[in-house]
A and B are shown apart, each in its own frame.
Chain A
Amino acid sequence: MATVETRQDVHIDLHYLTRIEGHGHLRIDTRRGDIERCELNVVEAPRFLEAMLVGRPHAQAPHLASRICGICSVSHTTASVRAVEKALGIEVSPQTEDLRKLAFYGEILDSHILHAYLLVAPDFFGQPSAIALAGEQPEVVTRALRMKRLAGDLCAVLAGRHTHPISIAVGGFRHLPTTATVAGLLDRLVEARADVAATLDLFRDLSFPPLNRETEVLALRRDDEYAFIDGDIACSDGGRWPVDRYAGVVEEHVVSHSTAKHSRHARNPYMVGALARFKINHDRLHPKAKGAAAALGLTPEASNPYLITAAQIVELVHCLEEAITLCQRLVDRGLRRESLVMPSHRSGEGVGVVEAPRGMLVHHYQIENAIVGRANCIIPTNQNLANLEADMRQLVPQILPLGTDEVTRRLEMLVRAYDPCISCATHVLDIDYA
């Protein structure tokens, strides 16, 4: 960390942003209390996965797409299979939909637990890491690992593993767990209610730093459920569009200082992710999750980005309950072997949209003769970066008197609150001008 302080101004040049996915570089310069520079740069090496999708047989696309990010690879895989399925006119069975949703809940649980407990919580306990926290509060870390293991097992039972799921395929699943295995999971999920309740207690007692900035939020919206897979794109300003029109809604463009593509909706920064989903879909939450929101004091009017973590806890409750319901249904009905649904045509264009742990994720493919001809991916973190900068611009002047160290700490916490996933963001590029 190279930090120089002049009077009450700050110059922050933080090269080594920790406890986030990927390499980021934070630069803040103020002059006489005014912000001269406020940037979050992406320092991660470029990985042209979008371009690599081009020329691939469509069946391979989900496996390659998964490699965009190790932490939300179920999301990428699901978005990718949905894009292909829509392009080629494939309707999957209800059982497939259930299994996909279940794997998805596994990923949301896994990612949120990782983020809330292992990346964010140390800040609140004044610890530099979960490893240090494990020394002070072993039961907290043990609980986190226990829950994370269950979430990972949920993915593994359905798809072989969490990172780079194996059996989620275009048209269905290539492998099914036995009903007995699902029943075993069900028991563990039910037991995990106690851990989720303890989690709620833990986070209810934490006080999130203050910051209020009204911003637009975007999330998928379905009328039948709290949307994670498919739906319409909904905006907090009231707009609602079919996903095929994502391009008009989310306009991507290059911001010169950082080369992770920032996204602008209607040219204003906007937010995606757990808080965005909560604001748009709170009415579709499981009753227990609604209760959790109330307990955390989280309302749909929330405008403090630090509360993203609170929204994640609410989703934790929701996903656990939904996973229990789904497992129960699968156990009651029994699992049937189904062959993959074959495409009805070989060419087409499709948009797959899901709510990855960090927000709306779009995969858009053009398929020509079973080969991906064009691919475009919109990544949650890229959508959030502009909003995050806007938050920082508002926050910095307010907390300037606290001194460089505290400003840095608050900013780091803010960056972390967004749970940015720079691995995802750099499916395109890198710049490190420093």
Chain B
Amino acid sequence: MTTRLRETLDATSVYLPVEARIRSLRRLTKLETLFTIELPAGVSLHHDPGQFLEVSVFGVGEAPISISSSPSRSNGTFELCVRRVGEVTSALHTLHAGDAIGVRGPFGHGFPIHQFRGKDLLLAPGGLGLAPLRSLIQQVLDERRHFGRVTMLYGARHPSELLFTEELEDWAKRGDLEVHLTVDRPDEGWTGNVGVITTLFPKVQVHPRNTVAVTVGPPVMYRFVLIELLAKGIPEGDIWLSLERRMKCGVGKCGHCQMDHIFTCQDGPVFSYDSIKPLPEAL
């Protein structure tokens, strides 16, 4: 019997991190590292793809990080893909296998996978957006038969910034996942598409009535990707996004992530487009 991480938090203090250990880490790019994390004995994660954890380095602080692996592959550990941008994320990059970090969560609402079943999936991550989306992709691949056509359009600024390149190759080889890649600035060896992610959209055909689109990326990307998705006729309620906001608590108290009456950390970070469209501050 294991207790869920969230339950241990609720029993003590939702602000008190649980000590987890870095099992291993793998450098993905210059800025991103993939951490494999192990919870203490008797504690399990039980998350949905799209949910996030508050990750602590004591003495430095805490940052919301999406869980990058799927529940279907948990096996006692889970993965976090972290980009080094500021204090906490840089501190995480100084740690080694065996070091401890603090975790709280999982928080928020992830992707409603059950609603996606039986549908075609159009996945459009940009940059670091692949980190949370990977959790969904793994889950979908592990239950592949429940889904229709699955297409992924993934863009990064430079080939060296593409995440999970080995997995991308594997996915492309599977045959049941259509992968299109693009970069803004190619290097010598790049033979693929060049341009922002929206330049990939003309390459794919979708059945708008039966397609769910999921897009995760930096704030500036959304407005352009949305234009493409809507142009393809995908209903607003079938377009899903994950929003980034400053978050200090993860549980709807600190106010940083509030847009309108919505607390992104609790009501999101995953939203359907129709639910956030009336919120002018959302996008």
Touch between chains A and B, by CB atoms below 8 Å: no
